[in-house]
Structure 1
Amino acid sequence: MSRLYDSIEPNVIDDEMLQKAVEEQGPQEEAGLLAKKEASISKMSWRYNILKIDNLWQFKNLTKLQLDNNIIEKIEALDTLVHLVWLDLSFNNIEVIEGLDALVKLQDLSLYNNRISKIENLDTLQELQVFSIGNNNIQTLENVIYLRQFQNLRTLNLTGNPVCENEVYSAFIAAYLPDLVYLDFRLVDDNSREMALIKYQYAIEEMRHGETLAMAKQQVLDAQQKQVEYHKRAYVEYLNGSFLFDSMFADDPEAAKLLYLPGVSLLDSDFTYKSKFVAICENLFEYGLKQYEKREAEVALFYECLNEALEDNHQQCSKILRDFEEKNHGVHKGPRVRDGERSPISKTCGSQTVLSQTQFCPLTSHPFSFLAKEVIKDFERNIADLVSNFIENEQGIYPFCRDLENQHHEKLLEISVNTLEKIVKSEFDEEMPDDVRMLFVDKDTIVNAVNASHDIHLLKIDNREDEIITKANGWASTLVENVHKTEIQRNRSRVLEINQYVDHLRSELDNMDILET
């Protein structure tokens, strides 16, 4: 489609464009200054012959974005706009619906007059209520069935698409999207909907049955994934079964060849080996879950105690302020301060007296809560002990896995050497694949193959153990670091409040000195 501005050079959204948009569309006066500083305006629109969406990360609070009548070819760079509820990308050159996954609050989406041929990639937009995709290239009615998953969708515009030329178009949409209220700017009346449901009754019943089965399957998968995530937080994911054992052999190229070795049945040997190995993993799994519950209980207790300490600190600070103002009752005459409030100062004596008393106020000399500090110290010590005990016991369990692997390796090596001797003496007449027979050209070859297999198995065990240690230590370090950062920030905020209070007193007193003079 040709446009009047096609001769204008294409643009990318840049800082200058953003600044101009903020100045033109943002709040004015003092609120406007704040908007320019914090990029917190709710609606932005651009029609600057834009080719590429970019540089919108600073508008994280944006709720409405209008980019219609540009030459945009790809939906991108919108991941930070998580509060967006209204998006207009109509009259552009978009061919694929993409890049909208993060916009989970989106309610109104317009892709009218683009080059889109398939409705897709909207799964996360479960709040969607209005969807305009008219004047595109939607060909099939079956593609519209994709929209059945959006329970809140009430308004749909498909007019101008090839699919609209189908004689059963309106009835099909009304039947397969039963909650739709408006289709192509027209109300879907009850009679038309009822007739459509009758027409497609059997097909819809079959589809609903399939959707029910799919939903049940998805619920099982979601539950499994939720359980895996829980196990990951305990650092014992997939240890409640044979996953580690199976992965040892799955990544071992020699394992399948060595299975052909005769003698003592390797399958029977592996069955005993595997069952014992899995039992050890399951013990580690159960132990890890119990330790995780202990860590979680410790964290919950810490925050409970910390909140009590902070509340106690708040009460003490409020009392200090009340006592300070009551002590200086002759200095300020006004409403008594209540918790969380400050009263104006009325001058009845020298300002230096009040400021001197303020500087020695316990709030200014002791802004930190001693109790909170003690709670954090105890927490840090308890977490270190819990993690240390967990790692120590975990390191005591994994050697049993290595012992089993070593026993298996010795037995396998013995079988391999015996087989080689039989082949050399021409006493071996069993069938063996060519790639397996190639291992028996000499002793070094077969021994190296068995040792390589053994090394792979041990490496798997070592890596799994190291992974648990690394994650546990990393969790403890990050947790304690965040606690300290939060406390430092809280203390800085408290000091800032105190300084502001002192500045307020000083300003009030200075003004009164001027009035008296």
Structure 2
Amino acid sequence: MNLQCESMEPRVIDDNLLKLVVAKQGPREEAGQLAKQEGILFKDVLSLQLDFQNILQIDNLWQFENLRKLQLDNNVIERIVGLENLTQLIWLDLSFNNIETIEGLNTLVNLEDLSLSNNRISKIDSLDALVKLQVLLLDNNEIFNMMNIIYLRQFKDLRTLGLSGNPISESEDYKMFVCAYLPDLVYLDYRRISDLTKEMAKMKHQYSIDELKQRETLIQAQKEEAQAQREKLESHKAAFIEHLDGSFLFDSMYAEDVEGRKLSYLPGVGELLEAYKDKFVIICLNIFEYGLKQQEKRRVELDTFTECIQEAIQENQEQGKWKIAKFEEKHLLNLSAVRDESEMPVIEEKIVECGEDITQLFNILMTLEMQLVEQLEEMINLFERNIVDLVGLFIENVQSLMAQCRDLENHHHEKLLEISINTLEKIVKGEFNEDLPEDVRMLFVDKDTIVNAVGASHDIHLLKIDNREDELITRVNSWCTNLVDKIHTDEIMRNRKRVKEINHYIDHMQNELDNLEFTDNLF
């Protein structure tokens, strides 16, 4: 459905304008009359033409969720906004407006053709999401930096580019530069690029392009590595043990521990900390490895359950199809016999028999469904017990390992307190000759101060351990609860859908029989 609007006074795009467009440019003749009666849903509109309207602001287009083509040229639009819901858009014309910055296109991942000609744009950017872009028209803007061309190298499907009328197009090397750095381009400024031009451009800029390709290869490798790290982190999060494969938790204990960092200057504390960290990290690694193994067990349990569910449903459906096929075979013969029969008593008898067959089929199908419901309920309850047991075992062992972390922290606290008290006694007696930073010496004014400092450090460490343990337990319990709830909900929805299908089929067969009986009674 293509919609076009006539010129009107300056405005924003509001519902009144959109309704006017729909009313004036909807389907014609019989379809048009039907549309006037029932109305046209905005979500059914595929093409919308709003050019020459003096539109200042784009708004109220969210309802056009299936729009493919949008024409907004020759208006007074200053900013690209309000297009985020038009994710199906393929063609967009915003030429002849007052746009200074490319923005607001991040969700238009299907856009292939974009026209921004005759605006006030000075930089080509913010197009990264347009991975399908084939045509980009930016004629008669204010683009002056040739490096904008290099930005366009990321668009592998770009074949048509318009940049005439920009300051960069006045450069002597403009055409050669564009053809060299965008070798897959077919049309530049509405003219086809010859193979000879491409070859000359490549030769002229060969050295610079080779350097650029090396940088691009390095950047791509870094992007792939970053993506791999993100995927790895997501898999660890799914197992609830992210950042436990190293010293992250230990380091986080000291990140906010001002007193602990001060106390690390004391003689012997460095070696104590190193030994503490090594043992702590080993426990974290144990939690991490155990978490991965338990995640695999939960996955296998879920996959096995899902497979069993699907097999049970499929087997039940096959039984139902067979029952229906046998019924229809007999039913069609009975209907044929009714049509061929001339004696009314015989007709009525056969119609009653058909009705009884329909009722019998209904009972059979509903019995099959009830059997399936009971079978699936047993499977779901068994799975629920198994997954709850797996999660409970996981939590129990994680708590045991976290308790070991706390034991290490308590042991470290005792040793650190012992060193700190000994240091205080030496300072009081004048027997301490080590150089300490001034803020560290301030802790040794009396016993209460140093004990409080060591205690504050200890409390921070325990809090970090407790918080990580609580977070893990909360998340895995939440995952388990949500999974089981979803399985129960999905089964309820499946059952309702199946019962509806059975009733719909039975009603159809009964209506067919009733209409047959009614028709025969007319003769």
**Do these two structures clear the TM 0.5 threshold for a shared fold by scoring above it?**
yes
Counterpart in 1 of 2:340? none
> After superposition, what is the alpha-carbon deviation per residue over 1:122-175, rounded to whole angstroms, capped at 9, x for unaligned?
222221111112222211111211001111111111122221111111111001
CA contact (8 A) 1:13 1:52 kept: no
Counterpart in 1 of 2:43? 39
**Counterpart amino acid of residue 293 in structure 1:** E
Q: Secondary structure at the match of 1:127?
A: coil
CA contact (8 A) 2:12 2:59 kept: no
Name which of 243, 267, 274 aligns with 1:238: 243
CA contact (8 A) 2:254 2:461 kept: yes
**Counterpart amino acid of residue 380 in structure 1:** E
Instruction: Please state how far the C-alpha of 1:277 moved relative to its aligned partner.
Output: 0.5
Counterpart in 2 of 1:394? 398
CA contact (8 A) 2:320 2:368 kept: no
Do the aligned partners of residues 189 and 326 (structure 1) sit closer, same or farther apart at CA in structure 2, a change above 3 Å counting? closer
Instruction: Please state how far the C-alpha of 1:420 moved relative to its aligned partner.
Output: 2.2
Report which stretch shifted further, 391-400 or 315-324.
Answer: 315-324
Counterpart in 2 of 1:68? 73
**Counterpart amino acid of residue 405 in structure 1:** E
Name which of 400, 413, 417 aligns with 1:413: 417
Counterpart in 2 of 1:338? none
Once residues 192 and 432 of structure 2 are traced to their aligned partners in structure 1, the CA distance between those partners, rounded to angstroms, is 84
Once residues 17 and 489 of structure 2 are traced to their aligned partners in structure 1, the CA distance between those partners, rounded to angstroms, is 37
> After superposition, what is the alpha-carbon deviation per residue over 1:27-82, rounded to whole angstroms, capped at 9, x for unaligned?
64679999945824333333444433344444333333333333333333433333
**Counterpart amino acid of residue 46 in structure 2:** S
CA contact (8 A) 2:358 2:510 kept: no
Once residues 68 and 8 of structure 2 are traced to their aligned partners in structure 1, the CA distance between those partners, rounded to angstroms, is 32
Instruction: Please state how far the C-alpha of 1:351 moved relative to its aligned partner.
Output: 5.6
Q: Which runs of 5+ in 2 are unaligned?
A: 1-5, 338-346
Counterpart in 2 of 1:293? 296
Q: Secondary structure at the match of 1:101?
A: coil
Do the aligned partners of residues 224 and 183 (structure 1) sit closer, same or farther apart at CA in structure 2, a change above 3 Å counting? same
Once residues 505 and 489 of structure 1 are traced to their aligned partners in structure 2, the CA distance between those partners, rounded to angstroms, is 24
User: Superposed, which structure 2 residues align to 1:380-391 within 5 Å?
Assistant: 380-391=384-395
Report which stretch shifted further, 315-324 or 29-38.
Answer: 29-38
Instruction: Please state how far the C-alpha of 1:312 moved relative to its aligned partner.
Output: 1.2
Do the aligned partners of residues 484 and 159 (structure 1) sit closer, same or farther apart at CA in structure 2, a change above 3 Å counting? farther
**Counterpart amino acid of residue 447 in structure 1:** V
Aligned residue pairs: how many? 498
Q: Secondary structure at the match of 1:464?
A: helix
Once residues 7 and 25 of structure 1 are traced to their aligned partners in structure 2, the CA distance between those partners, rounded to angstroms, is 15
Once residues 246 and 296 of structure 2 are traced to their aligned partners in structure 1, the CA distance between those partners, rounded to angstroms, is 21
Report which stretch shifted further, 465-474 or 394-403.
Answer: 465-474
User: Superposed, which structure 2 residues align to 1:172-211 within 5 Å?
Assistant: 172-211=177-216
Once residues 387 and 332 of structure 1 are traced to their aligned partners in structure 2, the CA distance between those partners, rounded to angstroms, is 58
**Counterpart amino acid of residue 93 in structure 1:** N
Instruction: Please state how far the C-alpha of 1:90 moved relative to its aligned partner.
Output: 2.2
Matched, 1:270 2:278: no
CA contact (8 A) 1:331 1:348 kept: no
Counterpart in 2 of 1:477? 481
Instruction: Please state how far the C-alpha of 1:220 moved relative to its aligned partner.
Output: 2.1
**Counterpart amino acid of residue 241 in structure 1:** G
Matched, 1:443 2:444: no
Report which stretch shifted further, 23-32 or 427-436.
Answer: 23-32
Counterpart in 1 of 2:9? 8
Name which of 489, 494, 517 aligns with 1:490: 494
> After superposition, what is the alpha-carbon deviation per residue over 1:255-313, rounded to whole angstroms, capped at 9, x for unaligned?
22112223xx1111111101000000111111111111111112222222122122112
**Counterpart amino acid of residue 314 in structure 1:** Q
Q: Secondary structure at the match of 1:254?
A: helix
Report which stretch shifted further, 100-109 or 460-469.
Answer: 100-109
Once residues 272 and 262 of structure 2 are traced to their aligned partners in structure 1, the CA distance between those partners, rounded to angstroms, is 16
Once residues 37 and 257 of structure 2 are traced to their aligned partners in structure 1, the CA distance between those partners, rounded to angstroms, is 64
Once residues 263 and 124 of structure 2 are traced to their aligned partners in structure 1, the CA distance between those partners, rounded to angstroms, is 52
Once residues 72 and 285 of structure 1 are traced to their aligned partners in structure 2, the CA distance between those partners, rounded to angstroms, is 54
Matched, 1:119 2:124: yes
Do the aligned partners of residues 442 and 282 (structure 1) sit closer, same or farther apart at CA in structure 2, a change above 3 Å counting? same
CA contact (8 A) 2:10 2:56 kept: no
Do the aligned partners of residues 504 and 42 (structure 1) sit closer, same or farther apart at CA in structure 2, a change above 3 Å counting? same
User: Superposed, which structure 2 residues align to 1:49-68 within 5 Å?
Assistant: 49-68=54-73
Q: Secondary structure at the match of 1:508?
A: helix
Do the aligned partners of residues 389 and 438 (structure 1) sit closer, same or farther apart at CA in structure 2, a change above 3 Å counting? same
Matched, 1:320 2:323: yes
Once residues 181 and 245 of structure 1 are traced to their aligned partners in structure 2, the CA distance between those partners, rounded to angstroms, is 57
Do the aligned partners of residues 109 and 459 (structure 1) sit closer, same or farther apart at CA in structure 2, a change above 3 Å counting? same
**Counterpart amino acid of residue 208 in structure 1:** K
Counterpart in 2 of 1:515? 519
Q: Which runs of 5+ in 1 are unaligned?
A: 335-346
Name which of 281, 285, 294 aligns with 2:284: 281
Q: Secondary structure at the match of 2:335?
A: coil
Matched, 1:158 2:163: yes
Instruction: Please state how far the C-alpha of 1:440 moved relative to its aligned partner.
Output: 2.1
**Counterpart amino acid of residue 204 in structure 2:** K
Counterpart in 1 of 2:144? 139
**Counterpart amino acid of residue 231 in structure 1:** H
Q: Secondary structure at the match of 1:156?
A: strand
Identity %: 53
Once residues 494 and 24 of structure 1 are traced to their aligned partners in structure 2, the CA distance between those partners, rounded to angstroms, is 44
CA contact (8 A) 1:325 1:332 kept: no
**Counterpart amino acid of residue 454 in structure 1:** H
Matched, 1:255 2:260: yes
**Counterpart amino acid of residue 443 in structure 1:** K
Instruction: Please state how far the C-alpha of 1:453 moved relative to its aligned partner.
Output: 1.3
Q: Secondary structure at the match of 2:258?
A: coil
Once residues 295 and 24 of structure 2 are traced to their aligned partners in structure 1, the CA distance between those partners, rounded to angstroms, is 54
Once residues 131 and 357 of structure 1 are traced to their aligned partners in structure 2, the CA distance between those partners, rounded to angstroms, is 66
Once residues 34 and 494 of structure 1 are traced to their aligned partners in structure 2, the CA distance between those partners, rounded to angstroms, is 32
**Counterpart amino acid of residue 91 in structure 2:** W
**Counterpart amino acid of residue 363 in structure 1:** L
Instruction: Please state how far the C-alpha of 1:508 moved relative to its aligned partner.
Output: 2.2
Counterpart in 2 of 1:311? 314
